[in-house]
Amino acid sequence: MSGEAWLYLLSVLINAVNLFLQVFFTIMYSDLECDYINPIDLCNRLNAYIIPEAAVHAFLTFLFVINGYWLAIILNLPLFIFNAKKCVPIPAWVFEGEVGLTWIRILENQHLLDATEIFRKLNVHKKESFIKLGFHLLMFFFYLYSMIVALIRDESN
pLDDT of the residue at 142? 96
Residues 6+ apart with CB under 8 A from 63: 7, 10, 11
Q: What is the C-alpha to C-alpha distance for residues 82 and 95, in angstroms, rounded to an integer?
A: 11
Q: How many domains does the chain have?
A: 1
Backbone angles phi, psi at 2, to 5 degrees: -80, 170
Per residue of the chain (157 residues), give pLDDT as tens: 778 889 999 999 999 999 999 999 999 999 988 989 999 999 899 988 988 898 899 999 999 999 999 999 999 999 998 888 776 655 555 555 554 444 444 444 567 778 888 888 889 899 999 999 999 999 999 999 999 999 999 888 7
Q: What is the C-alpha to C-alpha distance for residues 133 and 18, in angstroms, rounded to an integer?
A: 8
pTM (two decimals) = 0.81
Domain that holds residue 72: 3-156
pLDDT of the residue at 101? 42
Residues 6+ apart with CB under 8 A from 17: 56
Q: What is the C-alpha to C-alpha distance for residues 143 and 42, in angstroms, rounded to an integer?
A: 31
pLDDT of the residue at 105? 47
